[in-house]
């Protein structure tokens, strides 16, 4: 259970990692859509949420690593605000929920940071990603907006990564509880995967289930019969028999922990023979990666195991050839799976990506590769108990990439470009689960969303 203690303990642990300077945690403000007062759903900054837990706009937190002081900055609502918005907690009440007694009006931040700068003290902050916070930081620090990001604090970033990588029992509980919303989103979409419906209609319902379940989608929904387009946010197609519907969608829990799953369903409920063969390879890769994930192994090794499973399966189909280990070492399989096996997940769907994904997913022991495909792997380092990671192998037939590689004569020893021609309209399949690394191995969080090809077919048919 989350409590005041959750947040005081986290700040206490952070203080044990840094000894000098001041950390400034900028909460988010409302993000404007088309004019100032017309805003998107409020999303608090994840670092601020982690250390303060306060899900309101217009706040900032400060920790002085030398004096030990903790201060919350914000402004109380006026009586007029309360008339329009209903009763609102005061700044003091909010601060108390985070275990903080010292509060100041937001404008006071300028004085306090200004004084600290005059004293030559270091101001630690994580890299901002929203324009309005970049502007506030540029004004507080007296530097140009373009200089702000470069001055983010590596020691603070590293300390945050160390803490947030290991999920606490209350975090795992929150994440697992919310998996039922993910289950509902994906099984509902499977049932809707019938000829004649549009991607947009399914996307809308999936987003609605997320909202009904307590929070907004954790990232822009990918709902497409063109699953080979990895970052596809076009939803204008109408489903037809023979299509594969790829849905990569997640939801934020009430406390803003993310889910992230992908399923690929045959429109109308029957895989073709060709689809079944490719699906089975991806399913095998997912299961092998799952079986291998445990403390002590690097996720890079798990990624390469999934890659070998895919290369081996494609060799059996005659699409690849030669020695599987050599093909994977050369990166030939990346024509079919150009992305990584997975990433950390937590308060962010790509957890802590605002800190920089190489800092989050790699370390001195396991540096990031520059090879096409492997370079896209977000998490490579050694797994530890209470990491939560995604396991998402896929096989795609990307016409533009196939044409590019073929023209360059890339990896002809391992790829049968002739046979590939007949797969160029196939599309793509990805299968993604969220898994918790335990002391001895791992487990899937929540009830596993139907993934056996027969179960998926059955689920789609049940919606017809």
Positions touching a copy of itself (CB under 8 A) are 31-41, 43, 45-46, 79, 82-87, 129-135, 138-139, 145-146, 200-201, 203-214, 219-220, 226, 229-232, 234, 338, 347-350, 353-354, 398, 400-401, 404
Find the helix or strand (DSSP H, E) in which 17 lies.
Answer: none
Query: Collapsing DSSP states into helix, strand and coil, what is residue 382?
Result: strand
Query: Collapsing DSSP states into helix, strand and coil, what is residue 336?
Result: coil
Find the helix or strand (DSSP H, E) in which 154 lies.
Answer: helix 154-165
Buried b (16+ CB within 10 A) or exposed e, 396-418: bbbeebbeebbeeebbeebbbbe
Choose the contact partner of 195 out of a copy of itself, Mn ion, none; CB within 5 to 8 A by kind.
Answer: none
Q: Which is nearer to a copy of itself, 140 or 305 (CB)?
A: 140
Shortest separation between residue 419's beta carbon and a copy of itself, angstroms: 21
Residue 178 · residue 259 · CB < 8 Å: yes
Choose the contact partner of 458 out of Mn ion, a copy of itself, none; CB within 5 to 8 A by kind.
Answer: none
Q: Which is nearer to Mn ion, 94 or 251 (CB)?
A: 251
Choose the contact partner of 260 out of a copy of itself, Mn ion, none; CB within 5 to 8 A by kind.
Answer: Mn ion
Residue 423 · residue 402 · CB < 8 Å: no
Choose the contact partner of 40 out of Mn ion, a copy of itself, none; CB within 5 to 8 A by kind.
Answer: a copy of itself
As a whole number of angstroms, the distance between CA 198 and CA 207 comes to: 15
As a whole number of angstroms, the distance between CA 267 and CA 341 comes to: 26
Could you tell me the end-to-end alpha-carbon distance of the chain, in angstroms, rounded to an integer?
41
Contacts of 186 (CB under 8 A, 6+ apart): 247, 249, 261, 263, 449
Q: Which is nearer to a copy of itself, 64 or 353 (CB)?
A: 353
Shortest separation between residue 66's beta carbon and a copy of itself, angstroms: 30
Shortest separation between residue 144's beta carbon and Mn ion, angstroms: 35
Q: Which two tokens stand for residue 428?
A: 């793509």
Choose the contact partner of 390 out of a copy of itself, Mn ion, none; CB within 5 to 8 A by kind.
Answer: Mn ion
- Answer positive or negative: Cα dihedral of 232, 359, 130, 11: positive
Shortest separation between residue 439's beta carbon and a copy of itself, angstroms: 30
Q: Which is nearer to a copy of itself, 83 or 118 (CB)?
A: 83
Q: Which is nearer to a copy of itself, 250 or 393 (CB)?
A: 250
Shortest separation between residue 287's beta carbon and Mn ion, angstroms: 17
Q: Rg of the chain over CA atoms, in angstroms?
A: 24
Choose the contact partner of 143 out of Mn ion, a copy of itself, none; CB within 5 to 8 A by kind.
Answer: none
Q: Which is nearer to a copy of itself, 131 or 296 (CB)?
A: 131
Shortest separation between residue 450's beta carbon and a copy of itself, angstroms: 22
Residue appearing with tokens 């005041």: 4
Residue count (the chain)? 464
- What DSSP designation does 262 have? E
Q: Which is nearer to a copy of itself, 49 or 278 (CB)?
A: 49
Shortest separation between residue 32's beta carbon and a copy of itself, angstroms: 5
Shortest separation between residue 432's beta carbon and Mn ion, angstroms: 5
Say whether residue 47 binds Mn ion (CB under 5 A).
no
Shortest separation between residue 76's beta carbon and a copy of itself, angstroms: 15
Choose the contact partner of 354 out of Mn ion, a copy of itself, none; CB within 5 to 8 A by kind.
Answer: a copy of itself
Q: Which is nearer to a copy of itself, 201 or 363 (CB)?
A: 201
Q: Which two tokens stand for residue 363?
A: 């370390």
Q: By CB under 5 A, what part of segment 384-403 binds Mn ion?
A: 390
Residue 106 · residue 24 · CB < 8 Å: no
Burial (CB count within 10 angstroms: exposed 0-12, middle 13-18, buried 19+), residue 243: buried
Q: Which is nearer to a copy of itself, 126 or 442 (CB)?
A: 126
- Answer positive or negative: Cα dihedral of 295, 433, 284, 401: negative
- The count of chain residues that interact with Mn ion, using the rule CB under 5 A, is 2
Please pick, from the candidates 45, 174, 243, 260, the single residue that binds Mn ion as defined by CB under 5 A.
260
The footprint of Mn ion (CB under 5 A) covers 260, 390
């Amino acid at each position: 259970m989350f409590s005041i203690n959750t947040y005081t303990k986290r700040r206490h642990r952070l203080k044990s990692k840094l000894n000098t300077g001041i950390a400034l945690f900028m909460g988010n403000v409302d993000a404007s859509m088309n004019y100032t007062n017309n805003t998107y759903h409020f999303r608090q900054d994840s670092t601020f949420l982690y250390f303060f837990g306060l899900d309101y706009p217009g706040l900032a937190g400060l920790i002085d690593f030398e004096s030990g002081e903790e201060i919350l900055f914000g402004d109380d609502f006026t009586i007029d605000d309360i008339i329009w918005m209903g009763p609102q907690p005061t700044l003091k009440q909010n601060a108390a929920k985070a275990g903080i007694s010292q509060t100041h009006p937001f404008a006071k931040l300028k004085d306090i940071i200004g004084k600290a700068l005059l004293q030559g003290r270091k101001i630690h902050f994580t890299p901002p990603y929203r324009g309005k916070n970049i502007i506030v930081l540029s004004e507080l620090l007296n530097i140009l907006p373009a200089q702000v990001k470069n001055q983010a604090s590596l020691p603070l970033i590293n300390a945050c990564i160390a803490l947030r990588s290991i999920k606490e029992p209350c975090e795992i509980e929150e994440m697992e509880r919310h998996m039922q919303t993910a289950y509902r989103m994906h099984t509902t979409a499977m049932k809707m995967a019938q000829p004649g419906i549009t991607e947009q209609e399914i996307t809308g319902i999936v987003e609605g289930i997320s909202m009904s379940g307590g929070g907004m989608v954790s990232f822009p929904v990918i709902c497409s019969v063109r699953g080979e387009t990895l970052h596809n946010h076009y939803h204008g197609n109408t489903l037809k028999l023979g299509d594969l519907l790829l849905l990569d969608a997640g939801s934020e829990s009430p406390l803003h922990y993310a889910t992230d799953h992908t399923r690929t369903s045959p429109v109308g409920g029957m895989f073709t023979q060709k689809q079944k063969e490719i699906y089975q390879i991806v399913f095998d890769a997912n299961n092998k990666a799952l079986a291998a994930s445990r403390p002590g192994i690097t996720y890079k090794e798990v990624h390469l195991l999934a890659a070998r499973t895919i290369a081996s399966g494609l060799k059996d189909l005659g699409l690849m050839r030669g020695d599987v280990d050599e093909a994977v070492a050369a990166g030939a399989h990346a024509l079919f799976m150009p992305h990584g096996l997975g990433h950390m997940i937590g308060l962010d769907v790509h957890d802590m990506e605002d800190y920089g994904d190489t800092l989050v997913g790699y370390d001195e022991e396991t540096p990031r590769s520059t090879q096409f495909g492997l370079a896209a792997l977000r998490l490579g380092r050694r797994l530890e108990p209470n990491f939560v990671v995604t396991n998402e192998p896929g096989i795609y037939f990307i016409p533009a990439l196939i044409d590019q590689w073929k023209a360059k004569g890339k990896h002809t020893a391992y790829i049968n470009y002739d046979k590939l021609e007949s797969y160029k309209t196939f599309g793509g399949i990805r299968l993604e689960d969220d898994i918790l690394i335990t002391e001895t191995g791992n487990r899937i969080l929540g009830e596993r969303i139907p993934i056996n090809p027969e179960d998926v077919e059955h689920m789609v048919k049940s919606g017809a």
